[in-house]
Structure 1
Amino acid sequence: MILEHGDDLPVVPGSAIGVIPNPMSGRDIRRIVSQASVFPNTEKTSMVLRILRAAGTLGVERVLLSTDTFGIAAGVQREMVRLTTAKSTAHLRWPKVEFLELDRPTGSAADTTAYARIMAEQCSAAVVLLGGDGTMRAAVPGLGRTPMLALSTGTNNAFPIMLEATVAGMAVGMIAIGAVDAPETRCKMLHVEITRASGRVDHEVALVDACVSTAMDVGSRALWTGTSLRELYCTFGEPHGIGLSSIVGRLLPTGRADDHGAAVMLTDPATAAHTVLAPLAPGLLQPVGVNGVGELVPDRPHPVRLDRGTVAVDGEREVEFGPQDRVTVTLRHDGPRVIDVPAALRASTAHHTLLAHQ
């Protein structure tokens, strides 16, 4: 496929992608206690516009965009009109943008799930998500088999990648128009099950980590100190990572593509025989007490030892449990499909996509 000088690729009928920018990402309490980078919604608006421009130039016919009350979707619409009417703007072709609205928005993570489900039903190529670990986790139940491209705009961004939005738009655009296949990986995922005394089973999933804490209520949700941590389970942990998974990265580096995960038994660092210094949040190197570390085998439920406390998934406390509850954590290879952007761009080079005649 060849791109002539000054020409866009032809519009491919039926080609479509979805884009979900989370306006609430990067707004938790860790912004107050750390020096986390700020991703204002104006920057998220700019990122969406760059994705749209790249996708439109490559011939994507349609983009489904979530709407919000924080001005991202409205900003995208205003800037599209301004750039379209500006005489100085050259080589600009927008895809048709459909602004989706939910019948009953909640202002919570459930909205991300709902938008992901709508886009997966109407657009099977890919969904681009702008957010942190929590945003990506919220999208999983709605995506089904539709692959995601996870862009980092949160606080602790262990799962999403830091990537220029233009390049992300190029990758999903080429996949949507069929110029390249969708290089993707099936991620690992942690399943947390809490069997209550009544027999009810509560279920949570985590893309990166599940952490058991002695804290008795979810409170402000976010975790950023090591004193109350007792058990940590991770799908992966990289030496250069941030957040709770960085503990695994310091002790037992575990890759995203490895078959196993990792489990760490923790204690109060004030009384621990061994401690590790880990970046639990941007700017916050915290000592964490360690009792033991080992591989987490897939498909084998691991019983939680602590008799009461809370479980945080991907850095946020979600559920409380007591002595009458039974909690297990299981690693499975049933996570979302995630687009490998470098692989997609390498494939486009091999197929001479975007190569101009001289």
Structure 2
Amino acid sequence: MTLVGIIANPASGKDIRRLVAHGSVFDNIEKVNIVRRILLGLESAGVDKVLYMPDYFDIVPRALENVHLKISVEPLNMRCEGTQEDSTLAAKLLEEEGAKCFVILGGDGTNRAVAKGSISVPFMSVSTGTNNIFPCMVEGTIAGMAAGYVATGAVSVEDATFPTKRIDIMIDGKVVDIALVDVALYDDIFLGSKAIWDMNRVKELVLTQAKPSNIGLSSIGGMVIQWPMPQDKGLHVILGSSDSEEGFIVTAPVAPGLIKPVRVLEFNSISIGDEICFDMSPAVIALDGEREVELLPGKKASVRLSGSGPRVVDIERTMWLAVQRGRMTNHGK
């Protein structure tokens, strides 16, 4: 039996950046519509069963209304708490159930939460968040078909997916969390509303990605390098205050519609396995754009670039390979 897991975050696309920046609101009704199309795509690709994360909005049950599917669609046996830990637990349970692919609706934070639960199952990441560097914008029908071809083995995982990096966050030498795109050392003592928008408080960045076309903190890295970063490299950026005269200033889209001058003091390429120590406490460490880890006085924090991120479905390549292998043709049968 071919099993696919769906993790749709009802809270993605709704944080405070709608107030302090100009992020669009991604409502849950649209997520319902996307999931409906994903289910139809999965069925057409030959998937037998879908297990999904239950949520307070009932995204998947609503998607099943007014649509006739032969595919089995059932909720995971778990309690919904309405926190990011739901996504982490769902990923663990889906891996245990033998899921061959995850279809994830959310932004960078949602994918990070899923990766904390499992990195052994390929990700089909559909962008419905605020910062959407890790997931991609894709029509739900195509997302379902591509995930289905990977899950059924019509296209192998090796052919259909690409590897990603992650950043391990360590306190006193122990890994306490991970990030998929960016880590920021933030001069504050409270997690607060989590989102970051005051660039004067950002002191250091460690990035798995650095593209000028990104939105969020990783765009800063994209403004200081001249060429795309290799798969086995990351970037460490040291920032200064806006009133300083050291370094140089870049202009970066640090949040949707929020384009800020940022003073860069230093930037250096890092390699897989390299560890960066943060010499500030107390402070807060932001992961993929959100304040998550409180660094208490006297604690030592460091981050390490790792090549052990989840594998992600390459949609374009997967669909081409499915065509070449005859999955779209019945020759009159």
When normalised by structure 2's length, the TM-score is 0.94
Partners of 2:89 and 2:245 lie apart in 1 by 44
CA RMSD of aligned residues (A): 1.8
Q: Does 1:221 align with 2:194?
A: yes
In the alignment, residue 301 of structure 2 is paired with which amino acid?
V
The CA deviation at 1:55 is 1.2
Matched, 1:47 2:47: no
Structural mapping, 1:110-189, within 5 Å? 110-182=85-157, 183-189=160-166
Deviations 1:87-112 (A, max 9, x none): xxxxxx44110122414x32111110
Q: 1:31 to 1:94 in 2, by over 3 A?
A: farther
Compared CA separation, residues 164 and 181, structure 1 to 2 (3 A): same
| Alpha-carbon distance, 1:51 to partner | 0.7
- Of 239, 254, 267 in structure 1, the residue corresponding to residue 240 of structure 2 is 267
Q: What is the identity, as a one-letter code, of the residue corresponding to 1:189?
A: R
Q: Secondary structure at the match of 1:83?
A: coil
Equivalents in 1 of 2:229, 2:10: separation in Å? 27
- Find the structure with the greater CA-based Rg: 1
| Alpha-carbon spacing, 1:83–1:149, altered in 2? closer, same or farther (3 Å) | closer
**CA separation of 1:181 and 1:253: change in aligned 2, threshold 3 A:** farther
Q: How far 1:58 sits from its partner (Å)?
A: 2.4
State whether structure 2 residue 211 is matched by structure 1 residue 238: yes
User: What is the rounded CA distance, in whole Å, between the counterparts of 1:299 and 1:254 in structure 2?
Assistant: 22
Shift of 1:355: 2.1
Distance of 1:145 and 1:206 partners within structure 2: 16
Q: Is 1:297 equivalent to 2:271 in the alignment?
A: yes
Total equivalences in the alignment:
329
Equivalence for 1:100: 76
Distance 1:256 1:128 in 2: 27
Letter in 2 for 1:41: N
Deviation for aligned residue 1:256: 6.7
Q: Secondary structure at the match of 1:204?
A: strand
Q: Note closer, same or farther for the CA distance 1:28–1:253 as it changes in structure 2 (3 Å cut).
A: farther
For the residue of structure 2 that corresponds to 1:349, the secondary structure is helix
Q: Distance in 1 between matches of 2:322 and 2:163?
A: 21
How far is the alpha carbon of 1:253 from its aligned partner?
Answer: 5.7
Give the 5 Å matches for 1:302-341.
Answer: 302-341=276-315
Whether the 8 Å CA contact 1:185–1:338 is kept in 2: the answer is yes
Given that 1:20 and 1:128 are in contact with CA atoms closer than 8 Å, whether structure 2 keeps it comes out as yes
Structure 1 stretches of 5 or more lacking a match?
1-13, 85-92
Q: Distance in 2 between matches of 1:157 and 1:58?
A: 26
Change (3 A) 1:270 1:101: farther
Deviations 1:113-139 (A, max 9, x none): 111111112133101100011100001
SS in 1 for 2:200: coil
Q: What's the TM-score once normalised by structure 1's chain length?
A: 0.87
Whole-Å Cα distance in 1 between the matches of residues 60 and 233 of structure 2?
Answer: 40
Listed one character per residue, the Cα deviations across residues 131-185 of structure 1 (whole Å, up to 9, x for unaligned) are 0111000011222411111111000111111111111111111122222212222
Matched, 1:58 2:45: yes
* Distance in 2 separating the partners of 1:302 and 1:211: 12
Q: Which runs of 5+ in 2 are unaligned?
A: none
Asked whether the 8 Å contact 1:272–1:290 carries over to 2, the reply is no
Q: Distance in 2 between matches of 1:318 and 1:106?
A: 18
Change (3 A) 1:302 1:83: closer
